[in-house]
């Protein structure tokens, strides 16, 4: 791994948006995950909203989808691309007292969509923080990582179970 260079820099060490024009257009797909840990009472509140009204997760889902479309504005060296689909899933885990989020992003293009999926997860969790911060300032975003990617020269990559967290 040591020998690979960071392609986002020229040989002179200057940041660049790497040329991808010669890469083939393939179906790209990336799945990212993450969680926000909170007080049990906060989790209960979110669960209640999900059932009836005051649905924190519905707002976070929209924020995540919108953020994924603006990834190239947020991440300086990311390429603009056309997402063909985005899906956001939440799961509430009472044992660890956290909301888990997974985002899947897809496009047909010359670069991967990992950053789109990771940005979606991050903004989903930040939005949950925003909506619940009045009752629980200590919430923590954790374990935001790539779970799986497909497409491009490197093909399928899958996170090894238990790795990295």
Residues making up the annotated binding site for substrate are: 77-79, 115-116
Angle between helices 40-51 and 56-69 (to 10 degrees): 90
Phi, psi of 67 (to 5 degrees): -65, -35
**Is residue 42 within 8 Å of 132, Cβ to Cβ?**
yes
Residues annotated as catalytic are: 130
133 binds a second copy (CB under 8 A): yes
- Which residue matches tokens 């497909």? 150
95 binds a second copy (CB under 8 A): no
> From residue 102 to residue 131, what is the string marking binding to a second copy with x (rule CB under 8 A)?
----xxxxx---xx--xx--xx-xxx-xxx
Closest by CA to 36, choosing from 111, 98, 97, is: 98
User: Distance between CA 149 and CA 113 in Å, rounded?
Assistant: 8
**Is residue 103 within 8 Å of 29, Cβ to Cβ?**
no
37 binds a second copy (CB under 8 A): yes
Give me the least distance between CB of 161 and a second copy, in Å please. Answer: 12
Phi-psi region at 164: left, alpha or beta (left = phi > 0; alpha = psi -120 to 50): left
> From residue 50 to residue 89, what is the string marking binding to a second copy with x (rule CB under 8 A)?
--xxxxx-xx-xxx-xxxxxx-xxxxxxxxxxxxxxxxxx
136 binds a second copy (CB under 8 A): yes
Interface of this chain with a second copy, residues 17 to 36, rule: CB under 8 A? 17-21, 27, 34
159 binds a second copy (CB under 8 A): yes
Give me the least distance between CB of 45 and a second copy, in Å please. Answer: 7
142 binds a second copy (CB under 8 A): yes
User: Distance between CA 65 and CA 103 in Å, rounded?
Assistant: 9
Give me the least distance between CB of 26 and a second copy, in Å please. Answer: 11
């Amino acid at each position: 791994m040591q020998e690979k260079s960071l392609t986002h820099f020229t040989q002179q060490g200057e940041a660049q948006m790497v040329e991808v024009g010669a890469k083939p257009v393939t179906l790209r797909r990336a799945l990212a995950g993450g969680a926000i840990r909170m007080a049990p009472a906060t989790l209960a509140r979110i669960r209640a909203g999900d059932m009836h009204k005051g649905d924190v997760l519905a707002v976070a889902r929209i924020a995540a989808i919108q953020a994924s479309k603006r990834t190239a504005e947020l991440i300086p060296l990311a390429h603009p691309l056309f997402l063909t689909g985005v899906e956001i899933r939440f799961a509430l885990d009472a044992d660890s007292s956290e909301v888990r989020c997974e985002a899947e992003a897809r496009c047909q293009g010359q670069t991967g969509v990992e950053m789109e999926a990771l940005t979606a997860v991050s903004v989903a969790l930040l939005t949950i923080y925003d909506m619940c911060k009045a009752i629980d300032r200590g919430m923590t975003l954790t374990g935001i990582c790539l779970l799986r990617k497909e497409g491009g020269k490197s093909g399928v990559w899958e996170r090894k179970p238990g790795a990295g967290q």
